[in-house]
Structure 1
């Protein structure tokens, strides 16, 4: 479990969040986490507030293009902030989810081989690491883009005057370009950008880790069902079926819990990402400077990678659930008692109901995004 959760834990720790608890935290540790969290949130909130003031003043002064650009930044802030607060709000539910996943997690070499754990662990680790690195590189490239422009064009090549700039458009009621206040402002904006990015990365990779385990258990159920040799004796076969039904029911409850925890922040994420894509497309059509296009393109890539990750894992869980119904049908049920056959019909129906209800949100995301 620790290997699956390590990337999510790293980025949650960076913003002062423990998404779940094991009851062993000291008071000093809790205090440190609270200080880190509220330092991140207050700084991010202040930057978002002054970005909002800038948008109002830009619209008032008919600076429509600048206002649209700042709206993209507000969207980025709102997604990061909402994900952090939703995870804190759902901490009890996440703790219960993680504890139940630990109870059914395969332990020992024999069980790990039966569940094919190394394959799932390796896939989840590669995707989480790639996504985390990609998003981190994107946000830090965006944050430091103005600094690199200043040092390359203004100081090194001397081909044009860039001047000191900030990565995000924000209302500042004093002249900050030529005095010491530029550096604290640059630090605050970079800190805010990192906070929002870390809040989003941590929630996304936590979803990856949880969804990977759901897929693993669904696949194990499918393999167990399809490979089981029926005896034709109702008492013997029914004992096997009872164990499978209980296991399946447990995984379905965990799937519903995942929907309850991640549904709202992921929906907001998708909506804001759609707006960002629209803003970027609009700005490219009206002809903005190449530097701005590059920065906005980074926003576009990060938004698309998030939506892809959500859709990818949602589809994996949906396919794994449907695979269980296929495996149930592929079992040699014609050798079983008629009562066993009736129970299989109920199990197949319930597996397909998951696709219609529990993961309709993920299906909606994927359908809308591909249109």
Structure 2
């Protein structure tokens, strides 16, 4: 790979590797001029792909079954089942959005690629961005992997120490599966691990694609800001070409942001709504339940929800701030001293364009900013007081 583009691997390596594992492009594979080995590999990938789909449906079915057959008068159990169903539905929503927008996400990443020489990478501090992205990707992947590894390992430890055959996250199978059979249990255990791991890969791939692309767009706006501030250091003969380049890059960044908006806006709205509900239900469980297991399980879900919502709002805020910073860079470039009328008109055009910063929204209802995070917490508190009133009357 061209060294001037190698830095961009840090933005795409983990999410796109997971997309490759999930075989998102497998249905679009051409059958023209394929060897027997290639056709065999494609067939295997299709089987792999549909196995992932089936495992996702299985997970949704289990949570839906628990919700349908639970006792609505047992508010604590009912609340727990609702939370589990919402969590699995969230995974399915993100999976659908990821499957339907994978090609678009890859195209957005390609549009953002821009070659920088080693000197430019040092001058713009690109390594600082890539280091932060690399560190965050590892932390976020570990955030998702750790609870699953603990659950998978704990079940095996219980089996070895006590001989009791259980499944991760308290999953139960109907008796006709004979889950306690010495032959059936290992098969079901592997299937459960598969069914839980694939949604986790979807979540990590989806979220990191969103966060990393937002970081890349914000980085490009920061670079534009520095280029704009340095206009006054250029010769008069150089300013026009550099200014035209800035306008072209600004237009490209707004177009990329718009494409990103189309791919993620529905999931942003969905997650904003369900996050308020999950936080509310956790507060309700804590205030009414004496079962420490329920509290711990709900607590882990709530922490995960708050963390993801905060990240969405923080990265949305990062883009808004970077875009607004570009406007400051334009004002600080000394444009009022330009003698050329054409240059002044170009500067006025850029200023008019930057009056409204680039943002990502949740279905145009509002922008993803830290203010949205605060709004979700207050909304959750309102739901919590309503649940308490209902519970007191049951």
Aligned partners of 2:258 and 2:218: how far apart in 1?
14
Match of 2:22 in 1: 15
Match of 1:188 in 2: 191
1:51–1:171 CA contact under 8 A, matched in 2:
no
**RMSD across aligned positions (CA):** 3.3
In the alignment, is residue 46 of structure 1 matched against residue 52 of structure 2?
A: no
- Range moving further from structure 2, 109-118 or 37-46: 109-118
Aligned partners of 1:51 and 1:256: how far apart in 2?
35
Q: 1:226 to 1:166 in 2, by over 3 A?
A: closer
Equivalent position to 1:369, from 373, 376, 389: 376
1:273–1:303 CA contact under 8 A, matched in 2:
yes
Q: 1:292 to 1:97 in 2, by over 3 A?
A: same
Q: Map 1:322-333; keep pairs closer than 5 Å.
A: 322-333=324-335
Gaps of 5+ in 2: 1-7, 379-394
In the alignment, is residue 57 of structure 1 matched against residue 74 of structure 2?
A: no
In the alignment, is residue 117 of structure 1 matched against residue 126 of structure 2?
A: yes
2:257–2:359 CA contact under 8 A, matched in 1:
no
2:16–2:205 CA contact under 8 A, matched in 1:
yes
Aligned partners of 2:280 and 2:205: how far apart in 1?
25
Aligned partners of 2:115 and 2:319: how far apart in 1?
17
In the alignment, is residue 210 of structure 1 matched against residue 213 of structure 2?
A: yes
In the alignment, is residue 199 of structure 1 matched against residue 208 of structure 2?
A: no
Match of 2:308 in 1: 306
Aligned partners of 1:100 and 1:250: how far apart in 2?
8
Equivalent position to 1:88, from 99, 109, 119: 99
Gaps of 5+ in 1: 156-161
- Range moving further from structure 2, 355-364 or 284-293: 355-364
Q: Tell me the TM-score normalised to structure 2 length.
A: 0.79
Q: Map 1:245-324; keep pairs closer than 5 Å.
A: 245-324=247-326
Aligned residues: 360
1:232–1:335 CA contact under 8 A, matched in 2:
no
Q: Map 1:218-237; keep pairs closer than 5 Å.
A: 218-229=221-232, 237=239
Q: Residue 304 of structure 2 aligns to a residue in which SS? A: helix
Q: 1:151 to 1:49 in 2, by over 3 A?
A: same
Q: Deviations over 1:184-233 (max 9, x none)?
A: 44433332222221111111111222122111111111001001226795
